[in-house]
Structure 1
Amino acid sequence: MAESRNDAIVIQIHSLEEFRYLFEDKSMSYIFEGTQNVLIYCMMDVESIRAAFTKDVDCGFIKFVLTTQVNLAVQIKSSEKVNIYIDEIYSQYKSFLQLHPELSEDKMHAVSYIFNLSTMSIKEIYRNIIKIQRYRNNVRFGVDVTHLFNHPETFKLMEPQLKRIGFDYYFIDNHKLTSPYLNEDHEALLTKEVFKFSNIKKIMNDMKLEERKYYLLNVHNNLLLNDDKMEIIESPPLLMGMVKKARTNFFGLGIDLIEQPDKKHTLYLYDRNGFRSILGNMYERLMEKSNCNMKAYDYYTVVNHPHKITIFVGDWRVVESENAVDDEQNIQIHINFKDITLRRAYVIFYETISNVYGNIKYAIPTQLRNNYRWSEECIRKIEAYNKPEFSVFEHNFEEETLTLNLDYNTVHIIDIYK
């Protein structure tokens, strides 16, 4: 087993309303609780953030950043935006801290600034980094290098300067790549081809920056190749396989907090009506692997926690066929310990995530969800029921193997408590 370190998730925020959901809606606290491997990326313009801070008389945004210690990133597209952050927004942080001496500015290191090489030159970015560092200590910086992936020859020339600055984050925006994932044979966005990340990985290796923290933003949510009704986000095995393949190439993946109404399909945690997606229901379990010893196989993964062993088993048939058939014959999986001394009775938490259990699209059709305005009380009640199927039991591995039926298009998660 090897320690898992690159399981970070970038939660993409597109509006102040979404940001407000994060720190006002307690039901979303699971997104960043229990792990520091989550980066909240504010993709809105600085003017709207300035307006929010000006009107935020209770300092809710500031309290959220300081007390929750969330890793927050904001994008900067020009030098004028830097001045707004320093002269207006950061000054409000300072004023708040003067009124609350019990809080430490050291926590401000959780706020990072992301520059974009398509809107600013590397020299201009460096000058702004120096300017920000005069006002703040322990600050982190990132750079969007999508423009360089579209022009690898320019990337090669800029490689020494990028290494010299030493950015903490390197962002690649899939929506802005010349072709999605820079896979030349990406016809219909076959997931099997997309998962290879062949061309994009080649550029990373050529630049000798592969040891850097690369994050792939706007991970695509597409229709399956052989099915014009089901999307990747409705297939737990495809979601699990995508995360497993991507973690070998990138430090983290970017997904939307809330489904966006435009034509660029991106994986998301909540649909536009506020209902949690299958990915939202899998999120906590996928993030559990952070900083744990694990070993990944073709269709299953074993994770060793201090108090339990978790086995993720996904149906490989939907990954191979990209077809949402539901009349496939079930397959039996048998689980046991190779070490005979470990074969004894254990308490098992057994969870099944499928196109039925935990899928809001199955519980309430899309057209019906879009036709009505749902109250928060109604959404909470439906979410309480729309969960993966689970059971808790005791199993003695000394007497027999643990057998499970691997239904089509399902992921089974088995927690064996030590």
Structure 2
Amino acid sequence: MTDLETADPQALRTAMTEQLVGEGIIRSTQVEAAFRTVPRHAFAPEATPEQAYNPHDIVATKRNEQGVIISSVSAPAIQAIMLEQAEVQPGMRLGEVGSGGYNAALMAELVGPHGSVVTVDIDPDVTTRARELLDAAGYGRVEVILADGEHGLPDREAVDRWIVTAGAWDIPPAWTDQLAENGRLVVPLRVRGLTRSIAFDRDGDRLVSRSAEVCGFVTMQGEGEYNERLLLIRGKEIGLRFDDGWPADPDALNGVFDTDRVERWTGVTVAPMEPIKGMQMWLASALDGFCLMSVDPDLDTGLVAPQNKRANITLLDGDSLAYLAIRRTDAGAEFGVHGYGPNAEAVANVLVRELQTWDRDYRQAEPVVYAYPASTPEADLPKGRVITKRHRRIVISWPQPGQVSNSTAIEKEN
């Protein structure tokens, strides 16, 4: 019997931490010590200890009327990733948006007795729960505030680190106004439907990314809430999800899947378990008609065969579309493209070309993501895909082919 199959919380906590270290998710001795110390099960009374200490699972704590999770204790793996991104030092002042309790306790361990942690949440059920659990676990020094995280921390001095534990579509002014001049914001930011935990360093009135990791979070509530739009096709079997770029004529896609399928294979292959987050972000930044396809598992007729039936990369152009497909090979898998509609071949060829461009020039690269005030003129922005949001203009900027490090790209741009 393994430690994860026992009911001893200490053994479960040790096993969880050692697994995260072994997977390379926990990298620093400080974060490792915090995970070995904080009793996660005490912050997840809704779950069994075994569930609480599963390294890659959330613990749902609240659902809405439709049964959708609106508050949770995030998976230990993503909490570790974000804390490593934050590079917290003893004595720092930390602010958190989203008050599960456990993450704030980890933050309190990292800053030590001379630092401070303030956590804010819009939901009184969440803040009441967090306050009670923090006190019971011995973390009374963590301050819990009931407020809309969109506006930061009421009447507080600047923080050295912001850690946002809810999916954000935008970066409101308060998060930078209340960030120390050399501070860092770690936020699960949604860009063109893709969510990445991005560690932004403040550089005057702009933010510059230092790292980005794939993640998923419940979405922000309150003024910062922003919902993607869904275009349903073939009844409700297939949906196209748009963060931006809603089609000018959605009805043009009526009957698109009644046309013959065009199939193209790219020669771009991936090994088992090879990360492809850079590919997704490249396509999101390179394609004007980028959206995500989802297939309802209860209505799935097998008509389409996307690489990912929950959120699959798709290119839309008027009355035609093409989506990412995959087939198994001896070495792993090869990416392909399926196209539908009157101009299926042309749309499919565009998606094939950008997949091959990523493979040739950017396979080992990651973009720098900038966040500028929304009022910044286009001429003052770096080169890249510009996504204008309510408060910020996000720029996804890739290095020149052959320059594969973020630091090289930043130094060149500056």
Q: Which one has a larger percent strand, Structure 1 or Structure 2?
A: 2
Mark yes or no: TM-score above 0.5. no
